[in-house]
Structure 1
Amino acid sequence: MLDTDWSDSWRGAFRIELRAEAIGLAWHGWPVLPGTFPATDSGSGQWSGPVPVHEDWADRIGAHPNEVAGWWAGERPYSLLVATGKVVDAVEVDVELGKRAARLLRATGHPAPIVATPDGRWLFLSTVADSLPERLAVSGDVRWHGEGSWIPLPPTPFQHGVVHWRVKPDVWGWQLPEASAVHSVLVRALEQTANGVDRTQNFAVASVAA
């Protein structure tokens, strides 16, 4: 993918869209936060992704939508982050595992909201969990975003593309799936990846029978 052109016009367009998305998410009760932006925060080295712009970001979780609107009201563009561990959790995986898990979730008839980043990571959103199953926790390519963490949401820009939805939350009425259900599907997908097989059809039949 070609480098994204972060000219003033691009930054202005993204600033408006990011502000609108941030306000909308805040009205749905999601704890959004402003994050760093690649065009203005990569001068000291390679930009590896957005982080909260406020050091006291944890104290700002749950801000009213009007306050959220004020964060994005200036000329400086901010990425869109959501704090995890309060309303929403996320499990981050690679593309291969993400595609397998997405197929399994579709087979159940209840897909989870899924975010994809330009650097090849998929984020499966769910309700908040106390822990991650051991099978996922010991996998070196799975990362759990719980309390004390955050994730980027669309349309947050990276240097080589833009974060986008694979499955939007409004498709399912903004009802996050239970963390245990998402974790279970991710474990199955991880086992399939390890074994190099695809049992999606069998899983669909078993789900219907249950």
Structure 2
Amino acid sequence: MVDTEWPNSWRAAFRIELRAEAIGLAWRGWPVVPGTYPDADTTVGTPYTETLWTRPAPAHSDWQSRIGAHPQQVAAWWTGRPYSVLVATGTLVDAIEVDDHLGRRAAMLLRGTGRPAPIVAMPNGRWLFLVASADHLPRELDEAETVEWHGEGSWIPLPPTPFHHGVVHWRVKPDVWGWNLPPAPVVHDVLVRALNDVSAPRTDVPQVVPVESSAA
């Protein structure tokens, strides 16, 4: 695990970084809530922490009532515990979670537009494309097995949240957009294009034509 194997000085610095990121997001109005972390040794009143820890989940059963807390309250939550940094989705921000192949293709297409969306990469090989909240997902994305929509009632981890084998990190930081999230339809359209690209059969593979041998 990431945090448990570090020297105490590094662990303390990492806790401070998690707290600072949570406070910074709260000051910008993002709905931050504390999340579970790999070296948690006790449960804190939620069924999420009673199962095998594989990725962050809300650390408190009343997490939805904590949405919109003042930054001072957020600072108090992160004092003494290295909570993961989670952001509740469905009010300010949504996220579309995709696999690595689709994520790379979509990121390339977004760069081509000159206005890339904030993108998060997780150590499990999944990508998160952050957008302003919307009320639906296009049918092509909704039916794709590798795509997951994080809207109302869900959450996403943000950097530098730890996983068992690495930490969450930004591939495209929100300040690229001045912390204004892109409209969902813009990113949805790009993801649909990327999905069609990665699903299409390759036509650039050269075909081998058998050569007939001449008669002796």
2:2 corresponds to 1:4: yes
- Out of 179, 182, 186, the residue aligned to residue 177 of structure 1 is 182
User: Are 2:106 and 1:108 equivalent residues in the alignment?
Assistant: no
TM-score relative to the length of structure 1: 0.88
Counting aligned pairs with the same residue, the percent is 67
Aligned length: 195
- Counterpart Cα distance in 1 of 2:69 and 2:112: 37
Question: In 2 relative to 1, CA 111–39 (structure 1 residues): closer, same or farther, beyond 3 Å?
Answer: same
Q: Verify: 1:28 aligned to 2:33, yes or no.
A: no
Q: Which has the higher helix share?
A: 1
Structure 1 unaligned regions, length at least 5: 199-210
| Letter aligned with residue 136 of structure 2 | S
- 1:194 corresponds in structure 2 to 199
Aligned-partner residue type, residue 153 of structure 2: G
Is residue 84 of structure 1 aligned with residue 89 of structure 2? yes
Q: Taking structure 2 as the reference length, what is the TM-score of the superposition?
A: 0.85
Whole-angstrom distance in 2 between the partners of 1:174 and 1:28: 8
Deviation digits for residues 38-69 of structure 1 (CA, Å, limit 9, x no counterpart): 01259976421011111111111111111111
The aligned counterpart of 2:137 is: 132
Q: 1:27 to 1:44 in 2, by over 3 A?
A: closer
Aligned to 2:57: 51
Shift of 1:33: 0.6
The aligned residue for residue 214 of structure 2 is none
Deviation at 1:11, TM superposition (A): 2.9
Aligned to 2:40, the other structure's residue is in SS state: helix
Could you say if the C-alpha distance between residues 191 and 113 of structure 1 is closer, same or farther in structure 2, counting changes exceeding 3 Å? same
Cα RMSD over matched residues? Answer: 1.8
Question: Which residue matches 1:204?
Answer: none
Q: Give the structure with higher Rg (CA).
A: 2
Give me the whole-angstrom Cα distance separating, in 2, the residues matched to 1:197 and 1:102: 20
Q: Distance in 2 between matches of 1:30 and 1:171?
A: 16
